[in-house]
């Protein structure tokens, strides 16, 4: 309210400045005493004069003024009066420039001052230029009117930015600097953000190339609360691109060859710009040869010809090919090349089942792991070759229609089984390497391609082995004897225990039925006990035959003399008795068994089983009696 009360004084000050002549005419001493115009009006029509007489003006001493003069005065005020209390942007004229300031005339009662720092963006400022200003301080301590060009620019800039956003109009901005994720752009004096994805339709590799450039943009987003502006250059060219896309897509046909530019390279393929529409060349369609990455074939921004292989109904996904522009390598393969020929090539891929070898560009053959070695013991292909190796191989099969070829390496060397009978005759001794275990034996490799099997029963004469791993390890060297040879079946039977004489041949005489030996009771077991006569011979003593002469029984750790009542070399079984030494019945049974065994051995070696049966029966009888 205080400001409103002061307003008439300000108006009087402006009126005195803008129209001094009119003010002087209104303020004469005569007008105060007797206002002009009243005498003529009273004389012309006294009755009307009295009816319309303005007693207020008379009392205040205000003379009546013609309507034309009032209209002229109001016009002058409207054109020249500036309300210094409203926060609105006005235009002013530069009337003087000092070392530090610019003097601006806004048609107020005094000129305003603006620091030249606010015009750093405009080094060409000169006297007579019109600039937008905002009244910052109506009257400072010295009575000076202080203006702001910077604030006026900000207000006007936001007005322009909002209008550009609403109308979708194009604005011009200056790229000031690079920032995380994009660029900072000066638009109408406001710092706007240009995301990296909105710079261009294609990926940007060098952001610094856009710094200090003036470009056109479209305002795409404004956050009024935080005063953030987002602009896009990409949006301006997308409309043109869409038109180009429609035109290009409408003309697409399978088999059509087009020129394009490599836009992006990925691990799975290459995106090619066909002039506004993108197509994908899959890595398998880049070259007839096998490649690891597309950058082995193409470079970014490279121009090349591609052929359209396929596209969807909407033609939004376009599949392109590069290798299809060249003749298929199989079609160019020499007609003279056939099965049995030797070829050289480079290993390009290795799998567990084999290796692919490129014999010519785009022509590959498979060497199965079984064709890499004469060995029947299969291993991984990596045990024989590595990627990049140059190898020589023989063509085993070739199908030109299906474009398939199989190769072999082992065929370049002699089959080791061709002279197997001379190298490994039955009974010959050799040293091999343990390659594999089975539950029933051990596979031993004598040389590459020659493997033999040692059955678990042929590993040791004396040890009872449940699994081969108890006796040896994979990779160990083992002495063997060739027991059996099957050339047609490519089978070799080996033995390890045969490198030594069978100790049980000697034990058969030393521990014959009826012989006597001294030993110590080791363990008390089910239905009897055991006695260890040496490291190989552990005899079983049935419970009945542990009885001593005084009627007591032998216990663990007792040393005594024993008589052998059963010996089986094949089953490595020995049964002994202490009681048979002093009891006639047991002794008689032992003598009868010994005589029968001797008669059987004399008659025929193969009939020893009969004696064993008798001894087994005797053993059962003794065990029954002992229990």
Length of the chain: 627
Assess contact for 456 and 494: CB atoms under 8 A: no
Nearest to 15 by CA among 89, 70, 64: 70
Architecture of domain 503-594: Beta Barrel (2.40)
The single-letter DSSP state of residue 189 is T
Q: Where are the domains of the chain?
A: 89-153, 168-239, 252-321, 329-412, 419-495, 503-594
- The span from the CA of 147 to the CA of 329, in Å, is 81
Q: Where is pLDDT greater, at 261 or 143?
A: 261
Domain 252-321 has CATH 2.40.50.140: yes
Q: What fold is seen in the domain 329-412?
A: OB fold (Dihydrolipoamide Acetyltransferase, E2P) (2.40.50)
- From residue 611, how far is each of 138, 347, 428, 597, 603 by CA, in Å? 139, 67, 34, 5, 11
Q: What is the mean pLDDT of the chain?
A: 79
pLDDT exceeds cutoff 90 at 490: no
pLDDT exceeds cutoff 60 at 8: no
Geometric angle at alpha carbon 213, from 209 and 214, rounded to 5°:
150
pLDDT tens for 278-295 read 889 999 899 888 888 999
The pLDDT, as a whole number, for residue 406 is 93
The pLDDT, as a whole number, for residue 153 is 81
For 192-208, give one letter per residue: b (16+ CB within 10 A) or e: bbbebebbebeeeeebe
- % of residues, the chain, pLDDT over 70: 76
Nearest to 235 by CA among 216, 222, 213, 248: 216
- The span from the CA of 344 to the CA of 358, in Å, is 8
- The span from the CA of 184 to the CA of 229, in Å, is 10
The pLDDT, as a whole number, for residue 618 is 46
pLDDT tens for 318-338 read 899 998 888 888 887 888 888
Architecture of domain 419-495: Beta Barrel (2.40)
Q: Where is pLDDT greater, at 72 or 21?
A: 72
pLDDT exceeds cutoff 80 at 142: no
Q: Tell me the mean pLDDT in the region 14-26.
A: 41
The single-letter DSSP state of residue 62 is P
pLDDT exceeds cutoff 50 at 132: yes
Query: How sure is the predictor about 31, in pLDDT bands with cuts at 50, 70 and 90?
Result: very low
Assess contact for 211 and 183: CB atoms under 8 A: yes
The pLDDT, as a whole number, for residue 597 is 62
> Phi and psi (nearest 5°) for 581?
-75, -25
The pLDDT, as a whole number, for residue 366 is 93
| Structure-block tokens of residue 609 | 């089983």
Question: Could you tell me whether strands 214-223 and 190-195 are parallel, antiparallel, or unpaired per DSSP bridges?
Answer: unpaired
The single-letter DSSP state of residue 330 is T
Assess contact for 64 and 52: CB atoms under 8 A: no
pLDDT exceeds cutoff 70 at 622: no
CATH classification (class only), 89-153: mainly beta
The pLDDT, as a whole number, for residue 451 is 86
367: number of Cβ within 10 Å: 26
**Considering the domain 168-239 in this protein, what is its CATH number?**
2.40.50.140
| Structure-block tokens of residue 252 | 């697409």
Identify the weakest region by mean pLDDT among 15-24, 112-121, 444-453: 15-24
First to last CA, the chain: 133
Query: How sure is the predictor about 368, in pLDDT bands with cuts at 50, 70 and 90?
Result: very high
Identify the weakest region by mean pLDDT among 238-247, 286-295, 605-614: 605-614
Q: Tell me the mean pLDDT in the region 556-563.
A: 89
Query: How sure is the predictor about 193, in pLDDT bands with cuts at 50, 70 and 90?
Result: very high
Classified as helix, coil or strand, 565 is strand
Q: Tell me the mean pLDDT in the region 546-562.
A: 87
The pLDDT, as a whole number, for residue 587 is 65
The pLDDT, as a whole number, for residue 435 is 87
Nearest to 452 by CA among 408, 500, 489: 489
Secondary-structure percent of the chain, ordered helix, strand, coil, rounded to 5:
30, 35, 35
Assess contact for 229 and 161: CB atoms under 8 A: yes
pLDDT exceeds cutoff 90 at 379: no
Q: Where is pLDDT greater, at 158 or 462?
A: 158
pLDDT tens for 40-98 read 555 666 666 666 666 666 555 555 656 666 566 566 555 554 454 446 788 889 999 99
- % of residues, the chain, pLDDT over 90: 14
Query: How sure is the predictor about 39, in pLDDT bands with cuts at 50, 70 and 90?
Result: low
pLDDT exceeds cutoff 60 at 212: yes
Query: What element of type H or E holds 547?
Result: none
Query: How sure is the predictor about 269, in pLDDT bands with cuts at 50, 70 and 90?
Result: very high
The pLDDT, as a whole number, for residue 306 is 92
> Which residues are within 8 A (CB) of 94 and not within 5 positions of it... i.e. 6 or more apart?
102, 103, 104, 125, 126, 127, 128, 129, 130, 131
540: number of Cβ within 10 Å: 19
Q: Tell me the mean pLDDT in the region 378-384.
A: 79
Nearest to 440 by CA among 463, 465, 472: 465
| Structure-block tokens of residue 521 | 């009771």
pLDDT exceeds cutoff 80 at 106: yes
Question: Could you tell me whether strands 538-542 and 528-532 are parallel, antiparallel, or unpaired per DSSP bridges?
Answer: antiparallel
The pLDDT, as a whole number, for residue 397 is 92
- The span from the CA of 530 to the CA of 536, in Å, is 13
Q: Where is pLDDT greater, at 620 or 416?
A: 416
pLDDT tens for 576-604 read 998 888 877 666 666 666 666 666 655 54
Assess contact for 549 and 561: CB atoms under 8 A: no
| Structure-block tokens of residue 33 | 């005493």
Question: Could you tell me whether strands 429-438 and 441-447 are parallel, antiparallel, or unpaired per DSSP bridges?
Answer: antiparallel
Assess contact for 435 and 445: CB atoms under 8 A: yes
89-153 and 252-321: identical CATH topology = yes
pLDDT exceeds cutoff 60 at 391: yes
Displacement of CA 14 from its chain's centroid (Å): 77
| Structure-block tokens of residue 567 | 């010996």
The pLDDT, as a whole number, for residue 543 is 87
DSSP string, 30-68: HHHHS-TTHHHHHHH-HHHHHHH--HHHHHHTPPP--HH
Query: What element of type H or E holds 16?
Result: helix 2-18
The pLDDT, as a whole number, for residue 16 is 40
**CB neighbour class for 67 (10 Å; exposed up to 12, middle 13-18, buried from 19):** exposed
């Amino acid at each position: 309210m205080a400001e409103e009360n002061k307003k008439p004084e300000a108006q009087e000050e402006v009126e005195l400045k803008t129209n001094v002549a009119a003010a002087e005419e209104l303020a004469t001493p005569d007008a105060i005493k007797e206002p002009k115009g009243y005498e003529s009006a009273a004389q012309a029509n006294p009755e009307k004069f009295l009816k319309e007489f303005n007693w207020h003006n008379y009392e205040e001493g205000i003379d009546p003024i013609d309507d034309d003069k009032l209209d002229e005065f109001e016009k002058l005020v409207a054109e020249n009066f500036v309300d210094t209390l409203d926060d609105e942007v006005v235009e002013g004229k530069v009337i003087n420039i000092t070392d530090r300031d610019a003097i601006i005339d806004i048609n107020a009662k005094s000129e305003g001052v603006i620091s030249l720092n606010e015009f750093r963006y405009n080094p060409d400022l000169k006297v007579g230029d019109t600039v937008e200003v905002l009244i910052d301080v109506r009257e400072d301590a010295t009575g000076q009117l202080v203006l702001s060009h910077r604030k006026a620019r900000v207000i006007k800039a936001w007005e322009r930015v909002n209008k550009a956003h609403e109308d979708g109009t194009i604005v011009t901005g200056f790229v000031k600097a690079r920032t995380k994720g994009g660029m900072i752009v000066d638009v109408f004096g406001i710092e706007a953000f240009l995301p990296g994805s909105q710079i261009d339709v294609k990926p940007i590799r060098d952001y610094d190339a856009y710094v200090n450039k003036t470009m056109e943009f479209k305002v795409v987003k404004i956050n009024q609360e935080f005063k953030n502006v987002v602009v896009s250059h990409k949006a301006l060219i997308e409309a043109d691109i869409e038109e180009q896309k429609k035109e290009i897509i409408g003309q697409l046909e399978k088999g059509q060859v087009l020129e394009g530019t490599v836009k992006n390279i990925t691990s799975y393929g290459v995106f090619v710009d066909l002039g506004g529409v993108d197509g994908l060349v899959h890595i398998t369609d880049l070259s007839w040869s096998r490649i690891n990455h597309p950058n082995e074939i193409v470079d970014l921004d490279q121009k090349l010809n591609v052929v359209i292989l396929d596209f969807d109904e909407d033609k939004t996904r376009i599949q392109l090919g590069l290798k299809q522009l060249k003749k298929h390598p199989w079609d160019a393969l020499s007609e003279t090349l056939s099965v049995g020929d030797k070829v050289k090539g480079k290993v390009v891929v290795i799998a567990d089942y084999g290796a692919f070898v490129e014999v010519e560009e785009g022509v590959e053959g498979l060497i199965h792991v079984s064709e890499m070695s004469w060995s029947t013991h299969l291993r991984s292909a990596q045990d024989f070759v590595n990627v990049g190796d140059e190898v020589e191989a023989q063509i085993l099969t070739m199908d030109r229609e299906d474009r398939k070829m199989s190769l072999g390496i082992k065929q370049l060397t002699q089959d080791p089984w061709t002279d197997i009978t001379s190298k490994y005759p039955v009974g010959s001794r050799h040293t091999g390497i343990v390659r594999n275990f089975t539950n029933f034996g051990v596979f031993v490799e004598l040389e590459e391609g020659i493997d033999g099997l040692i059955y678990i029963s042929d590993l040791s004469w004396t040890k009872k082995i449940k699994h081969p791993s108890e006796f040896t390890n994979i990779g160990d060297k083992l002495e063997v004897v060739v027991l059996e040879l099957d050339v047609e079946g490519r089978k070799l039977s080996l033995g390890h225990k045969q490198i030594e004489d069978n100790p049980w041949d000697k034990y058969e005489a030393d521990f014959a039925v009826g012989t006597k030996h001294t030993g110590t009771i080791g363990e008390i077991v089910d239905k009897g006990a055991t006695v260890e006569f040496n490291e190989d011979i552990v005899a079983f003593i049935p419970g009945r035959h542990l009885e001593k002469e005084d009627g007591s029984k032998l216990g663990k750790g007792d040393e005594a003399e024993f008589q052998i009542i059963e010996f089986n070399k094949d089953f490595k079984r020995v049964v002994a008795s202490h009681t048979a030494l002093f009891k006639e019945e047991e002794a008689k049974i032992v003598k009868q068994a010994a005589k029968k065994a001797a008669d059987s051995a004399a008659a025929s070696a193969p009939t020893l089983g009969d004696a064993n049966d008798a001894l087994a029966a005797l053993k059962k009888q003794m065990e029954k009696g002992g229990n």
